[in-house]
Amino acid sequence: MNHPVQTVRVGLGDRAYPIEIAHGNLEQVAQSLGALRPISQAIVITDEVVAPLYADRVAKLLRQAGIQTTVLSVPAGEASKSIQSAEQLWQQILAAGADRKTVVVAVGGGVVGDLAGFVAATFARGIDLFQIPTTLLAQVDSSVGGKVGINLPDAKNMVGAFWQPAAVLIDTQVLATLPEREFQAGLAEVIKYGVILDAEFFAWLESQGAALLERHPAVLNHMVARCCRLKADVVEQDEREETGLRAVLNYGHTFCHAIEAATGYGQFLHGEAVAIGMLCASRLAERLGRIDASLTQRQHALLTAVGLPTQVPDVDHRRLVDLMAHDKKVEHGRLRFVLPSRLGHVELVGGVAEADVLAALGEGTT
C-alpha cells in the first residue's frame, strides 16, 4: 500500500466507530474486523456482481484468519431491497447457525449496505454490522451514518432503522472496476457535500474538474475521507434526523426522489437524479432570493464537467409536486426544502409556494 490509512472517527458515544480509508486495504479486512473484538463467525452479504470481484476475496481472507464465513448473495439492483430479500437472508443467517455474536459484513453498493444493514439491525434484535462499500456513492454516503432499510412496493426506504456499523472499511482501489456512469453518479453526492457544508472542498473539486474522473488514488482518498468527515460531523450532531440538522444531507433529494419516482427508477441512477435535484433546489433558492445565480451556475458547471445530467426529464411537473408531497421529509403535510443560503451552507425552508417549486422545475427543461 502506497497510501497510508486515514481514519475518520464517527463520535456517537457507545455507538462510535472508525471509518478506515486507504488504497488497497481490503487485504487487511481480517485485521480490521479482528480489531473490533474476537470474531468467530461472519456472514458476508453481497450481490452477484460484487461477489466474484471482491466479496469472495473478503470471505477467503476471513476464513484464512480462522473466522467461519458464509457468503450470501442477492441479485444486483434496487429490487433486492425488498421484504422478500430480507426474509430470505434472515432464514439463511439462521440456517448458517448464527448467534448474537455473529457479524454481518456488507460488501457492495448502497443496495447491499442498506439491505444487509437492515438484516443486521433486526436479526436476533441486532447484531454487529461491518460495512465494506464498493461504490463511490456508498463510500461517501450510504455506508456512513447508520441509515439502513428496505423498500415497500410503493415507498422507498419506508422500512428500516438507524443502525450504526461497528466499523467501515473503505478501499478506494475497488473503485477501479466501477462503471464510469456509476462513478460519475457518486460524484454528485461528493459535490453535494461541498455545496452544503464546505466551500473550500467545493473549490478543490472545481480545481480538479474533469480530472476527478481519472480516479487517481491520492485524489480518491482525499475526496472520500473529506466526505466521510463531513457526513460524520452531521451525523454526530443529529444521529436520528430529529433536530433538522441531518436533513441538510438531503439537499436536492426532495426533487431527486420525485424525479426518480416519476421516471420509474429506471432512467436515472440515484446520483444523476441528485445532480438534477440540486440544480432544482438551487434555482428555487434563487427564486426565493436566498442566493444569486452564480451559485447555481458554479454547481451546473462542475456537475457538467464530471459528465452528470442537469436537465429535468420530460415529465408532468404537477406530478412531481404531488410526489414531493408524499416524501418522508414532509411532516404534517408541510412541504420543506433544504436550500443553500451561500456556498457551504444550507437551511431547511418550510412553507414554499407550489408556484415557486413549479418554476424551479420549469427552468430546468429549457
Q: Is 37 in the site for a second copy (CB under 8 A)?
A: no
* 351 is a contact residue toward a second copy (CB under 8 A): no
Among residues 161 and 348, whose Cβ is nearest to a second copy?
A: 161
The DSSP-derived string for 48-69 is: TTHIIIIIHHHHHHHHHTT-EE
CA nearest to 19, candidates 161, 232, 237:
232
* Interface with a second copy (CB under 8 A), residue from 27, 99, 200, 322: 99
Nearest-approach distance from CB 228 to a second copy, in angstroms: 21
- Residues 4, 31, 37, 40: which binds a second copy (CB under 8 A)? 40
C-alpha cell at 213: 474522473
Q: Is 121 in the site for a second copy (CB under 8 A)?
A: yes
Cα 356 to chain centroid distance, Å, stands at 28
Q: By CB under 8 A, tell whether 265 contacts a second copy.
A: no
Q: Residue 224 and residue 232: Cα distance in Å, rounded?
A: 12
Q: Taking CB under 8 A as the rule, does residue 154 contact a second copy?
A: yes
- Measured from the CB atom, the residue of 160 and 309 that comes closer to a second copy is 160
Residue 260 appears among annotated catalytic residues: no
Residue from 12, 65, 76, 124 in contact with a second copy (CB under 8 A):
124
Within its chain, how far is the Cα of 204 from the centroid?
Answer: 21
The rounded distance, in Å, linking the Cα atoms of 20 and 132 is 10
Nearer Cβ to a second copy (60/328): 328
**Are the CB atoms for 150 and 83 separated by under 8 Å?**
yes
Tell me how far apart the alpha carbons of residues 202 and 223 are, in angstroms, rounded to a whole number.
Answer: 10
Q: Does 100 bind a second copy (CB under 8 A)?
A: yes
Task: Write out the E strands in 268-335.
Answer: none
Does 161 bind a second copy (CB under 8 A)? Our answer is yes
CB nearer a second copy, residue 121 or residue 187: 121
Are 111 and 80 in contact by the 8 Å Cβ rule? The answer is yes
DSSP state of 139: I
Q: Is 270 a catalytic residue?
A: yes
Determine whether 241 is an active site residue: yes
- The answer to whether the beta carbons of residues 231 and 301 sit under 8 Å apart is no
Catalytic residue among 23, 81, 147, 226: 147
Whichever of 154 and 316 has its CB closer to a second copy, that residue is 154
- Taking CB under 8 A as the criterion, the residue among 12, 330, 349, 359 binding a second copy is 330
Q: Which one from 23, 81, 246, 283 is the annotated catalytic residue?
A: 246
CA dist., res. 192 & res. 189, Å (int)? 5
325 binds a second copy (CB under 8 A): no
Is the separation of the CB atoms in 31 and 46 below 8 Å? no
Q: Which are the catalytic amino acids?
A: 125, 147, 189, 231, 241, 246, 250, 253, 257, 270
Q: Which residues would be at the binding site for a second copy (CB under 8 A)?
A: 40, 83, 87, 90-91, 94, 99-101, 121-126, 147, 149, 152-155, 157-162, 240-241, 328, 330-332
